[in-house]
Structure 1
Amino acid sequence: MNSTEKANQGKKEAQLPISGFEIDRHTAIVIVDPQNDFLSPDGVAWGAVGQSVMENNTVDNIESLFRLGAENGIHVFISPHYYYKHDHGWQFEGTLEKLMHNINMFDRGDQLNVDGFEGSGADWLPAYKPYIMDEEKVTICGPHKVFGPENNDLVLQLRKQKIDKVILGGMSGNLCVESHMRELLECGFEIAVIGDATASAKLPHLDGDQAAQTNYVMMASVVYTTSQLEEVLESRKILAEE
């Protein structure tokens, strides 16, 4: 066997298996942090994530997830990120936690105080509000505080709806979305990630989107683009009608 043949054999051996993902009545859409501070050009994180948001067409693709949920009877769960006044008294923080506190990202007064929430960085992107306000189809969970859902009620809310499969998107890709993916996997959920309905910080010598997309492929059952998900759901409708 010559060197080229050995290299080609290595490529074949390195291919990842296909797990598959069947969308059924036990499937939900989970959207992480669909908020102004990440997704609006006026948001405090736009300087870090804006390039990736525009490259992935993330704003429109997250809206498509809301729309596809509504059109296909798939319940949507939102895992938001809020910081209250008492959170700014933390005695230690990781790098990105410190940054978020420094720039007052996702800030609110307290759990019971919505003064100044409307239109703030913690508020939903305006295009998403018509979907989010539909309480029968959308569940807003308590806030997660660092990156993953370990400290909010997302898993409880999913279990109470007998959900065991999750279609996942939102912000930001290599932090909160990836952390949600990892925790949900550990809790026994099947995960499909919508890769272009996420985006991540891009900084000198650091590409969060590349890191996230790599880990999605290695860990989720499947990674779809938004258009691929739409095709899958359309095929599901056709099969149901036959």
Structure 2
Amino acid sequence: MTYSKGHTALVLVDPYNDFLAEGGKLYPGLESSLKSTGVAPRLVSLVASARAAGVPIFYAPHRQFRPGDFDGFAFPAKVQVGIKAVEAFKFGSWGGEFYEGLEPDIEGGDVVATEHFTYSAFENTNLSFQLRKHGITHIALAGLTANTCIEATGRYAVELAYHVTMLKDATADFTAEALKTSVDINYPGFAHEVKTADEWLKEVQP
């Protein structure tokens, strides 16, 4: 498998301080997974390597919490209930900022899609419009968390007829079991490829 540079992109999902940085509101639940797999530094390296290789990066951020979000929702999703309870990724807060080293380089060509409210970064956002507009047919997914936003985004991308690669060592989860199930069972069941970040980078067409 090789990935044409002109049609391949890295999609980075929810790289917020509240997930990835010590002191983040959701970091304590992810700490074991993040540290055991070295996800934060790997994501930083992945982004730098992708840029060096000329691969565009599309950011797929979760909704930054604002007062009133989810009020009146008939059936709020568990993720929405949890975000509201702790005001995760709060707009204007440090926790709602992108992790150091993962900030978008807009002038360099990075694209930040509109925010998703639930799990899939495609639902009710302009992510697919942005990808199509830039001629992207092949995407690789990295970010948080493995069994929710990453998996939902990957499944949705397959439905939209993208070629989907799941980067199995560029994500984390709240339990080891959830991470293992996603990477070893769920991802191979729907994705076109499941690779490490280094394996994918080596196959991006020079």
**TM-score, normalised on structure 2?**
0.91
Match of 1:49, as an amino acid? Answer: L
Q: Cα distance, 1:83 vs. partner? A: 2.2
| 1:37-186 paired onto structure 2 within 5 Å | 37-81=18-62, 82-91=64-73, 92-108=75-91, 116-117=92-93, 120-129=94-103, 132-148=104-120, 149-186=122-159
Give the Cα–Cα distance (whole angstroms) in 2 for the partners of residues 211 and 135 of structure 1.
38
Check the 8 A contact 1:173/1:200 in 2, yes or no. yes
Give the Cα–Cα distance (whole angstroms) in 2 for the partners of residues 105 and 84 of structure 1.
10
Structure 2 spans left out of the alignment, 5+ residues: none
Query: Aligned match of 1:33 in 14, 37, 40?
Result: 14
Secondary structure, counterpart of 1:107 in structure 2 = coil
- 1:232 aligned residue: 203
Check the 8 A contact 2:20/2:40 in 1, yes or no. yes
Secondary structure, counterpart of 1:78 in structure 2 = strand
Give the Cα–Cα distance (whole angstroms) in 1 for the partners of residues 144 and 107 of structure 2.
22
**TM-score, normalised on structure 1?**
0.78
Match of 1:89, as an amino acid? Answer: D
Match of 1:163, as an amino acid? Answer: I
Check the 8 A contact 2:77/2:118 in 1, yes or no. no
Which is further off, 220-229 or 179-188? 220-229
Q: Which has the larger radius of gyration?
A: 1
Output one character per residue of 1:100-145: Cα deviation in whole Å (capped at 9) or x when no partner: 210111121xxxxxxx34xx1110011223xx13433210111101
- 2:160 aligned residue: 187
Give the Cα–Cα distance (whole angstroms) in 2 for the partners of residues 63 and 190 of structure 1.
24
Instruction: Quote the sequence identity (%).
Output: 25
Give the Cα–Cα distance (whole angstroms) in 1 for the partners of residues 57 and 72 of structure 2.
32
Query: Aligned match of 2:180 in 194, 207, 210?
Result: 210
Give the Cα–Cα distance (whole angstroms) in 2 for the partners of residues 142 and 169 of structure 1.
17
Output one character per residue of 1:72-115: Cα deviation in whole Å (capped at 9) or x when no partner: 1111000001222231424342223211210111121xxxxxxx
Q: Cα distance, 1:175 vs. partner? A: 0.5
Which is further off, 78-87 or 156-165? 78-87
Give the Cα–Cα distance (whole angstroms) in 1 for the partners of residues 117 and 133 of structure 2.
22
Check the 8 A contact 2:143/2:170 in 1, yes or no. yes
Query: Aligned match of 1:221 in 182, 192, 199?
Result: 192
Check the 8 A contact 1:30/1:169 in 2, yes or no. yes
Structure 1 spans left out of the alignment, 5+ residues: 1-20, 109-115, 238-242
Give the Cα–Cα distance (whole angstroms) in 2 for the partners of residues 68 and 105 of structure 1.
29
